[in-house]
Chain A
């Protein structure tokens, strides 16, 4: 029997703060297994600090396959980890964040139901719960929810990279590299737009939460400080943005519109 889910914990400079993360992830894996799911455990270390490497070398990671890289780029690390994953679905967890115990199990239920209906979906937790240096709780909408509006992507990311999805999604559409030097950040934001535009439906698993730790030096804090923006995307062009969440992929829709215009002229 194949593996249902590959859980990838990614780390760079996290030391003991990864402790609560790993406890929550183990609890969520335990719940998924209890529900009959099979899970592969991977840890991806990207240019780890001594503290980080030392922490993940402890015995609690015996059941985890640890892979060390030197991308200095959390997104390229994810691509690399996906390339060695064996699961039908993949879940990424940042080593400073926590997941709700039901996260993997609920997300897989949504994925399985969607696939039964022939849908390609990417599942996000219902809530992002920001804690530690700052607080905030944000709900994420299903892209077919009446409250969803693609223009929001001009201002912020509805989702982030803590999602669960078929391995094919990231293999087909890998994350772009980080480019802070040129003012670009938020590759997860970019990836969410691009996958949506290419027909991947973004949905949520109700009653699930990612607890995101805000601390000095974390990726989102650095992006904020640098006032980074996402790369300029054709999907966000004035004549395409409204189409990104439609059931037809943006490329097809755009092509259709332009073919029609040409025909008329």
Chain B
């Protein structure tokens, strides 16, 4: 009966070479057992060698206790190394110090060190001398603390190949490791990344042990992952699950291949080929350190593994079906852009006749607070979650490849920062595969007063890649046309899309004329853009009125420093526009420093409530002179006088406001869809 742990030990050891074993004892091929099983059952007892690297005869002659204890020289060797902690690199991925009797030196044994190595083809004469000298340097140092442990763990040839800086500085690599190398995350043997191990195994971090020591003494037995692509790692588990792969099987195949490759790079035809090529081109010989880390992709790169797993997850969300249109949004929570994206997706659904032809991708955060804004059968994909942990450029690449894999006719970008960034890199090739449309809303203004935002920063950089740029106001279109001196063809590419009304609200009741304080409503973000300070100044000049404000700071907290006048009441956030007590509202005040066509203005315009608002940017397209009270931004007296005027003749004010209500109803979903169809035919 074979002990499974013995079998595992043999299989993992570099000192057992299955191929070589079969070549030496070909009759094993015909038996119904693996070479490892044969060796454990019969081979060792017959005195056979497990590989050219391990002499059973020599081992037994110098370790007589092995015969009594195990009857299996290799097993004895491996177990004793595990027990007394000498040369433990064999349990991990190390190779060089895994013991070659031919090379073992007397002085190293007597000094309690196990700095042995195989003399394989990659060791040119100079390198052999370097190893010998370094080994002597390590042995001659004073032993204290972890020194001996590290000296026995280090895969010296690999370490010297990998860290040329130590060689050039002629420092003792073990002393250097203890002083600096451990902190720098240097690897004592190939395939084990101590930084990753500590970052991903809390127990190892908390133990205070050197990560290599922790892995060999505890981690290996506990099945802790050595890297992102080994069994036990969450990422590896996710990868296997998402592709329907058996994790144990994949892990075993990877280990088997790497073991085989490393052995063949040491000896045999492959090693000989590299050696011969190095004779022709010496630069090739500098690649040995890299060769020790070789493996089959993607199980050699955390980033690539993440990208593939993310792509698969996104394909799953997209139901493994193509899409006619892709709509890219940063997130879906309360905000104008997501709402507009909903109108857009609904219009596309009608144009194509099927909502499930639309894939909506959230690129920056995962929230999907208002799925009802989109066609009910649109497919939603969360790139933000899938791409978590990816470096920025890989996230952008993932986005582009995902979009391309959907084979869409058109891609619509509604404020997706990642897509704007991706367009800078891959806009041209993407435009050869699909039509690209991006929405632009009004530019922002920074604290220095400079215009910033996508219309300022990205329009000229990506204009050529777009089939059309969609804007929500004539104001923005005219600004872009003027700024870039666009003529016919250019102007046709900038398409104004009048945002449709979400609902035509019923006309709000006019508040009664009884003994009550008149009320002015305001709602919006308490941000610099919305000029909360203006509201306070206006309120101060109208102390007999009550100002009720809904909203909160979103982008900045500038409003919190302002003194709130006593006649201003903060009402918090409203959950739905229809919840506002508009029957108590005598006039609506809208203030803004810069703007597009805000949804809140469209909503109020349908209620028949008189609006006094800032005429800036796109708001002028709603606040007509004969149907509302448009005022220049800083004209505080203008706002005050307009409010007084409304309150002095509320009936006339209502008539004027109802004119706006009639006019605004031109913004229908049908007209929006027609405009979109025209834009797609540009």
Q: Which residues of A contact B (CB under 8 A)?
A: 20, 23-24, 27, 98, 100-102, 126-127, 129-132, 135-141, 145-149, 151-152, 154-156, 158, 182-184, 206-209, 211, 213, 227-229, 231-232, 234, 236-239, 241
A145 lies within 8 A of B426 (CB): no
Q: Does B516 contact A (CB under 8 A)?
A: no
| B-side contacts of A232, CB under 8 Å | 404, 407, 429-430, 432-434
Asked whether A141 and B307 contact (CB < 8 A) given A147-B253, A227-B426, A239-B320, the answer is: no
A136 lies within 8 A of B295 (CB): no
Write the B243-281 contact mask toward A (1 if CB under 8 angstroms, else 0).
101000110011001000100100011100110110011
Contact-residue size bin, chain B (C-beta under 8 Å from the other chain): 35 or more
A24 touches which one: B249, B280, B297 (CB < 8 A)? B280
5 contacts between A and B (CB under 8 A): A126-B270, A147-B250, A182-B428, A232-B432, A232-B434
B298 lies within 8 A of A155 (CB): yes
B308 lies within 8 A of A154 (CB): yes
Q: Which residues of B contact A (CB under 8 A)?
A: 243, 245, 249-250, 253-254, 257, 261, 264, 268-270, 273-274, 276-277, 280-281, 283-284, 286-287, 289-291, 293-299, 304, 307-308, 311-312, 315, 318, 320-322, 397, 400-401, 404-407, 425-426, 428-430, 432-434
| B-side contacts of A146, CB under 8 Å | 245, 249-250, 253
| A-side contacts of B281, CB under 8 Å | 20, 24, 98, 131, 211
A131 lies within 8 A of B428 (CB): no
A238 touches which one: B254, B287, B290, B315 (CB < 8 A)? B315
B270 lies within 8 A of A151 (CB): no
B308 touches which one: A98, A149, A182, A183 (CB < 8 A)? A149
- B interface, over-half SS: helix
Q: How far is the CA of A206 from the CA of B269 in the complex (A)?
A: 10
Asked whether A207 and B264 contact (CB < 8 A) given A232-B404, A237-B407, the answer is: yes
- Chain A, Cβ-Cβ closest to B295: A139
Q: How far is the CA of A213 from the CA of B294 in the complex (A)?
A: 17
| B-side contacts of A131, CB under 8 Å | 281, 283-284, 286-287
B20 to chain A, nearest CB (A): 14
A132 touches which one: B283, B293, B406 (CB < 8 A)? B283
| A-side contacts of B273, CB under 8 Å | 100-102, 207-209
Q: How far is the CA of A154 from the CA of B428 in the complex (A)?
A: 18
- A interface, over-half SS: mixed
B308 lies within 8 A of A229 (CB): no
Q: How far is the CA of A196 from the CA of B94 in the complex (A)?
A: 36
B257 lies within 8 A of A154 (CB): no
| A-side contacts of B311, CB under 8 Å | 151, 154
B322 lies within 8 A of A182 (CB): no
| A-side contacts of B432, CB under 8 Å | 182, 184, 231-232
B277 lies within 8 A of A100 (CB): yes
B277 lies within 8 A of A24 (CB): yes
| A-side contacts of B320, CB under 8 Å | 238-239
Asked whether A207 and B269 contact (CB < 8 A) given A138-B294, A139-B261, the answer is: yes
- Chain B, Cβ-Cβ closest to A151: B308
B342 to chain A, nearest CB (A): 24
B307 lies within 8 A of A239 (CB): no
B299 to chain A, nearest CB (A): 6
B296 lies within 8 A of A141 (CB): yes
A176 to chain B, nearest CB (A): 13
